[in-house]
Amino acid sequence: MTVRVRFAPSPTGYLHIGSARTALFNYLYARHTGGKFLLRIEDTDLARSTEESTQSILQGLEWLGFAPDEEIVFQSDNADKHRAIALKLLEEGKAYRDFTPKEEKVEGSVKDAIKERARAAGDQKSMRDNPFRDITEVEAETRIANGEPFAIRLKVPMEGTTSFEDGVYGLQERDYAETEDLVLLRSDGHPLYNLAVVCDDIEMGITHVIRGQDHLTNTHKQILIYRALGVEPPTFAHLPLIMAPNKGKLSKRKHGEVVSMTTYRDAGFLAEAFRNFLALLGWSAGEEKEIYSLDELISKFSLEGIHRSNAVFNFTEGDARKWTDDKAMWMNAEYIRTMPLGDLLPHVKAELKSAKLWREEYEPDGRALVATVPSTESQAFEASTEIADRPEAIAIEPLEVGTYDWYIRTIDAIRSRFFTLKDFSSQGRAYFSEDFDFNHAAVEKNLKAFPELMEWLPELSMRFRHEFGNEGSLPFTEENIEGVIKAFTAEKGTKLGVIMNGARTLLTGVSVGPSMLTVFEIIGLQRTMVRLLGRIAWNQAEVVAE
């Protein structure tokens, strides 16, 4: 029997980080077993479901790369079938009509109201004492004739236990006494969650249900429905939950955008990096390794590797530097600086395009296209190493700014200190445009702290012109630049760092980046000379500093 799993979000918000991980585990399990990964939108709560959040969820899944193997099922489309099944159970005496008037919606927290009601009932109350559980058909007919509304509840047997072997938590047992006669159909004829899920899972041929641990008790209820229907339940596996830093619930209301998948897409995260991070939240292959390609995750994934304890998604609210989990950020940076360059290029292109920094010269003759649209990972690697090898081979002569070769070398150089794709257009802006800002802290630390630089740096500009700017001069390459800079530094009797850091800030607007010699070279002689003169920059620095 081939494995069929499903991810079944309810469209009442965007794709939550916990849901994303559930989707990931389902996806990995399907791929690992050669099964099918299906998607079902549980939009039976018309009041709360929105088209907007359905789209947001779909976008999140698309970004993560989890395309369903079959057509998407919308649960609300099956409401008639669910109703029919509830009626069938009623007919068979496995369900009954409950004429108890519907309770009014309570004010405030629903959760608290439920807790309060349960406490008030104490342990005296039996789950089987519904007065309508065993009324005669005649009485029921009379009430119906009187126009009394009724809900349909499952008639849970008086004695027994539901049990199942959970793929993660092991044997789970629950006495019938702990389970209420759950409502299948509302008095307005609307099918409820547990009924809808069971019916759809049966119809979709689901073999393994992998979902959050918060569904553990639902599973017992659902098994009761499977039994009433005479259908063998699928295998269940429940996942530990992802918690907020205070070990409480991670929610949009309390924590905002950090929990939404689209936030990470928009913040310049790579889907492969985020997937990798997510996979390690609650699962481990039992080895000392952090970076896993999707293929590796698929081949190593197993239910046995899933933990039973909840994991904290660690971030600091109000701290711009730690707005999301450190490890997620590190993982993204790690991918950006170590992944095959050819795989990174399309992402950088998209980022530069959206920042209006892209130039067609960066991708002539469809060269990058060939290298970056490989059909397998190994091909991607070959293609990208080929590209990555090029810069070194041609570094003997300075590259012409704005060319394909220059672009490749520049991206490869600057990616080493970047954390997100956004950095290519923000921190890296000075490489692609004359219109860039100066970081306040960098100006303070590297320029204003050394007033002499206001003289020295323009002087260095003239020195560069003298050394490299004439017919037959040495090429403006790292090795040659180093010689000139060192001599210049010695002349001024200052530390190399002062000159280097000052130049870095004047040239790039920031205080970090690749080796400064590399920066000089890829900024190029012309731009270096102009920027070192620094009129505009010093002026701007003043403005920014104030």
Minimum CB distance to RNA, residue 359 (Å): 26
Q: Which residues sit opposite 173 in a β-bridge?
A: 163
Please say whether the beta carbons of 37 and 69 come within 8 A.
yes
Total of residues contacting RNA (CB under 7 A): 97
Give the position of tokens 């200052």: 494
Verify binding: residue 504, RNA, rule CB under 7 A. Answer: yes
Instruction: Tell me the pairing of strands 235-239 and 208-212.
Output: parallel
Of 111 and 253, nearer to RNA (C-beta) is 111
Per CB under 7 A, contacts with RNA among 426-445 are 427
Among 65, 88, 115, 475, binds RNA (CB under 7 A): 115
Among 98, 343, 351, 412, binds RNA (CB under 7 A): 98
Among 65, 70, 93, 117, binds RNA (CB under 7 A): 117
Verify binding: residue 419, RNA, rule CB under 7 A. Answer: yes
Per CB under 7 A, contacts with RNA among 299-328 are 305, 307-312, 314, 325-327
Whole-number Å distance between alpha carbons of 26 and 166:
15
Verify binding: residue 381, RNA, rule CB under 7 A. Answer: no
Give the position of tokens 């069971």: 198
Verify binding: residue 483, RNA, rule CB under 7 A. Answer: no
Among 51, 91, 159, 288, binds RNA (CB under 7 A): 288
Nearest to 81 by CA among 71, 92, 72, 89: 89
Nearest to 344 by CA among 298, 406, 410, 395: 410
Nearest to 12 by CA among 38, 39, 51: 51
Among 55, 126, 142, 217, binds RNA (CB under 7 A): 217
Nearest to 182 by CA among 219, 143, 152: 152
Whole-number Å distance between alpha carbons of 438 and 525:
20
From 81, 249, 252, 448, the catalytic residue? 252
Whole-number Å distance between alpha carbons of 100 and 86:
18
Per CB under 7 A, contacts with RNA among 17-46 are 42-45
Whole-number Å distance between alpha carbons of 286 and 283:
9
Per CB under 7 A, contacts with RNA among 125-144 are none
Whole-number Å distance between alpha carbons of 74 and 9:
10
Minimum CB distance to RNA, residue 367 (Å): 26
Minimum CB distance to RNA, residue 250 (Å): 9
Amino acid identity, residue 505? T
Per CB under 7 A, contacts with RNA among 160-189 are 169, 172-174, 178, 180, 183, 186-188
Minimum CB distance to RNA, residue 503 (Å): 8
Is 249 a known active-site residue? no
The residues assigned a catalytic role are 252
